[in-house]
Chain A
Amino acid sequence: MYKKILLAADGSDHSIRAASHAINLAKLNDGQIDVVYAVDGKTSKEDVLHGIDKYEVKKERETKLKPIVDLLEEKHIAYTTKFLHGEPGPAIVEYANNDNYDCVVVGSRGLNKVQTMILGSVSHKIAKRVFCPVLIVK
C-alpha cells in the first residue's frame, strides 16, 4: 500500500510531528520516505545574504532538516532528502504529481490566522492539488 511516501518538511515543529507519522506509515508497509523542503524566493534571498557561500547555505538548510533525518535514521527507514525551489505549495504539488507517490504527508500550518487568510496554507494547497492521498498531521 503506502510504500513510496513524500514528506513535505521545513524543520518546524509541525513538520517534525508529521515526520513521526510518516515513519509510522512507512513502517507498516516497509516503505521509503522522500523528504522535500521547498525554499521560496524570500527565503533564498535571506539565506544567501546571511550565508557565506552556497555550501554554507546548503549546510544550514540541512541543519534545519536534521531533527527529521535523525528520526529517520533512528527508526531505520530508507529515505532521501531534496531541496525544491519556488513557492512551497506549487513546488511540492508539482514534485508529488511528477512521480508516483502513494501518499504525501505534510504538517498543518505554522502561520497565524491572518497570514493563513492572506497567503493560504501550504497544506491546503497540497491537499487540493496532489493526485494521491494526502495526510495532514495536526
Chain B
Amino acid sequence: MFDLNKITYEGEGPIVNEFCISICTVNGSGSATANNILYQTLFHMGIPTAGKNIFPSNIKGLPTWFVIRASQKGYTGRLPYDDIVVAMNQVTFEKDMTYLPSGGVVFYADNLNLPENLNPNLTYYPMPIKELIKKTDVPRKLVTFMENMLYVGIVSQVLRIPLDDLHFTIYNHFSNNPKIAESNFNMVKLGYEYAAENIEKKDRFETKKLPPLEDYIITDGNNAGGLGALFGGAQYCSWYPITPATSLVEAMIGQVDRLRRDPVTGKTTCVILQVEDELAAVGAAVGAGWGGLRSLTATSGPGISLMTENIGLAYFAEIPLVVWDVQRVGPSTGLPTRTAQGDLSMLYSLGHGDTSHIILIPGTVTECFEFGWRSLDLADRYQTPIFVLSDLDLGMNQWVTKKFEYPNKPIDRGRVIWEKELEELEVWGRYMDIDGDGIPRRTVMGNQSPRAAYFTRGTGHDVYGNYNEDPRNWSDMLGRIGKKLQLAIPYLPGPIIRKAREDADIGIIGMGSTDDAIRETQDKLAEMGIHADYMRIRSLPSNTTEREFIASHSRCYVLELNRDGQLCDVLSSEVSEYSEKLISISDIGGMPMTAIWAIEEIVKRERKVGGSGN
C-alpha cells in the first residue's frame, strides 16, 4: 500500500521541473482549454510532461481532475500523490488536499469554504477568482471559461513560468482566431499580474526553461491512431460510438476531407460510416474488407464482445480488417472512463472454436500512429483480422511523444489478384496455398474474369470455397490458417528492450501504456541496486527475441493492469519451457500504473528471494 508519509522532498531550495499538479474542477465547466494551455506551455519550455484527464462517466456537473506531471528526467507516468493542487471544486476540496505530502501546495479559489483542521505542512495560496473576474468586461456566458484562465495565470506566476511562453502557447492554441487568443491571454495576464503583486512565494516548486523538445509533439493516442489509419490508406471505417474509442474515429472524421482527397479526381477515398450497433460496425467492415477495401473499426471491450462472431467469421473466411480496441475497465459496463489492460486474453483467441489473432500493442502515441497504418498492411497481407490494442490512458490522455514518422514503405495490398494475374494462373482456388506460406491469393468483387468468383462462407470449405464436411479437409484448412499466422510472426513489430546500465539478472516485461511508469521503475530500482532489463512487448504471438529475453534472465516480472496477469498467462503458455521464470505482478483499479507501486511490488518479491537483484 502506498504511504503518503513516505514522500519527502529532499534538501532545501527550489525543486525545479519535477512536480505533479492536479487541477480539480467540475466537468463541463470548460477547464480543458485552460489546463491544456498550462500543459502545453510546460512543453513549450522544453519540460517533458504528460496530462491525464481523470473524468467521471457523466457529461456535466461531477468532479473531474486534470493531472499534469512535469519531469525534467522524463518520468511522466502517473504518481499516486500530488505536489500541487489547484482546487476549484468545493465538493472534492478537502479530499483533494489529502493527496499532498508535507511540503505540498494548494491553490484554491477563495470563494470555496476552507475545511477545518488544515494541514499545517502545506502551503496555501488563495485565488480571488470571483473578485478578479468582476473587474473585467467578460460576457456572462464566458465567465466560467475565463475563470479557468485566471488560475492558469496565478499558478504560472508562482511556478515562475515566463509570461512570454504563455503568450506563445495561447496564440498558438487559438491560431485561427487571434481575437479569442487575445481575450484569453488578457485573462491569464490578469491572474499573473495579481500573483506577482500579491502572492509571496513560500513553496519550493519552480520551472526553468530547457532546450526545446524539437522532435516531439503533444497529442493523444486516438488522434494518432486515426491519423495513422488515414495515412495507411484506410478506405472504409464503420463504427459505433463508445468511450474511450470514439475519438479515434472522430480524429478520422476531422481530417478525412483534408487528407484523403484523391489527387486525381479531388474526390474522397475514404468512407466513414456510423452504423446502428457494433454488430453492424464490424459486419460492414468485414463486407468492405471482403470487397477489397482497406477497412477498419474502432471500439472498446463491450463492443468487442458484440463483434466476436464476425471476427470468427473473418478469421475463418480470411477477410482482412483492422479492429482497434481502446480498452476501458471491464467486465461488463465496468468503469467506462477508466483505463485497463484487461482485454488481452479475450482478443487473443476471440471467437468460438480454434482461433488465434495477431495483436499489435502500441506503447506510445507515436506507435499508435505507426500501428495505425501498419495494421492495415498486415491485415491485407495475412487476410485476417488484426487487432490494435490500446487503452484509455494512451488513447485519450495528452502525451509528449515523438513526431509522427512518414510510413517507410509503400502500402501493401497483399495478394489481391485481378483479371490479368488470374489469367496467368493455370490453377487457382481462393483458399489454395499456391505460394507455400499459407497465404492464398485473393480475388475481390468487380473482378470481371469468369474464373474470379467464389462463394465465401463461414462453413467448412475446400480450397475452392465449396462446402465441405470432410474431416481431413477441415483440419488441413484450419491448419493452414494457423501456419499462416505463425509465419507472420517475424513481420510483426518486435519488442523494445531497454537494458539495465549494468548486467542484469532479472527482467521486467510490460506492454502498452505502462511504458512510462515501467521505465521510471527500472531507473529507480537501479538507484536502489536492483538492476533489471526491461522488455516491452509490441505484438502477439510472441517471437524468438521475447523467448530469448525470458530465457536469459533468472526471473522476469510481468507488470500489467488487470486482475489475472493476462500477458503473463499468454507468455507462460507460449514460452512454456521457461514459464517458472515468469512472475505476474498485476493490479486493476482503473488508474494508470505508477512506478511507486511497481517498485514496491518488485522490491517485496526480490527481498523474498533474497536477491539484491544482481
Chains A and B come from one and the same complex: no
